Structure 1
Amino acid sequence: MALQFEAFCAEGLAPGWSLLVQGHSDCEEDKFEINFLSEAGDIAFHIKPRFSSATMVGNAFQGGRWGQEDVSCTFPLVLGEPFEMEVSSDAQHFHVHAQEHKVLQFTHRHWPLAAITRVQVLSDHRLARVELARRA
């Protein structure tokens, strides 16, 4: 997968930030993921739409191991169609919306939240827009 977007925020990306990704799902493979990374290199939150099983999967990679997957069967994305995903955070959770539907709420597993300083979007899909913004 190709790195399409990467941003760093020394003050931390959780809580209070929102990531918006718009693109086009133009292949049949599951080649799209978003990773929120800690200063130590752990993946505090990994979100991956799985088109092959019509599921949205969230997880964390800490201490060299993946945790238990959170799987949502709410999957409003359609192969060959434009898509929009938004990931935001509050003090307890990451929230994932796709096509304006809430698809996943992932409890924070990485503390302190201020140590989550980087976000990456990896994709072989065509991305039209990626925007990272502090929420009001």
Structure 2
Amino acid sequence: MGPLHPFCLQFEAFHAGGLAPGWSLLVQGHSDSGEDQFEINFLSETGDIVFHIKPRFSSATMVANAFQGGRWGQEEASSVFPLVLGEPFEMEVSSDAEHFHVHAQEHKVLQFAHRHRPLAAITRVQVLSDHRLAQVELARKGLCWGAGGY
């Protein structure tokens, strides 16, 4: 059984050349829903979720995983959780050659080792959310694909 997405796709970007070390994704919004209905997915050209990050407000944890070959891998969690339900938030996901790095409210929350190589195979980014998003920006080495004003 594949991953379930019970909430809205609010942002999606495609990049045929794939991602490379040095890019970042910035998401700003307002966590006005009482639900854990927010996630960021980085997908490969084959449709695998190479990196999945989800804040769980109900347990004050940030979880990360990968969905490859039809199944979820070992979930990783961080108890560093600077997000507050009902308040504005900012999350940034970036990558170097070895890891994804997640920051929330300017605090380092999680480091997740790449489970899929090459990084250039990541061609799509999705933000799914029932929260109000103000800005989503994907930038790489001086280039920017973004959307704002949701």
TM-score, reference length from structure 1: 0.97
> Is the 1:21–1:85 contact (alpha carbons within 8 Å) kept by the matching residues of 2?
yes
Aligned partners of 2:21, 2:123: CA distance in 1, in Å? 11
The equivalent residue for 1:74 is 80
Q: CA RMSD in A?
A: 0.9
Aligned partners of 2:62, 2:21: CA distance in 1, in Å? 21
**1:13-61 Cα shifts (integer Å, max 9, x gaps):** 2322100000000011100000000000000000000000000000000
Unaligned runs of 5+ in 2: 1-6, 143-150
Q: Residue 26 of structure 2: which of 20, 25, 30 is its match?
A: 20
Unaligned runs of 5+ in 1: none
Aligned partners of 1:128, 1:95: CA distance in 2, in Å? 22
Asked if 1:107 corresponds to 2:110, the answer is: no
SS in 2 for 1:79: coil
Asked if 1:37 corresponds to 2:68, the answer is: no
Q: Residue 97 of structure 1: which of 103, 118, 130 is its match?
A: 103
Aligned partners of 2:101, 2:57: CA distance in 1, in Å? 19
Quote the offset at 1:94 in angstroms: 0.3
Asked if 1:6 corresponds to 2:26, the answer is: no
Aligned partners of 2:108, 2:141: CA distance in 1, in Å? 17
> Is the 1:85–1:96 contact (alpha carbons within 8 Å) kept by the matching residues of 2?
yes
Percent sequence identity over aligned pairs: 85
The equivalent residue for 2:61 is 55
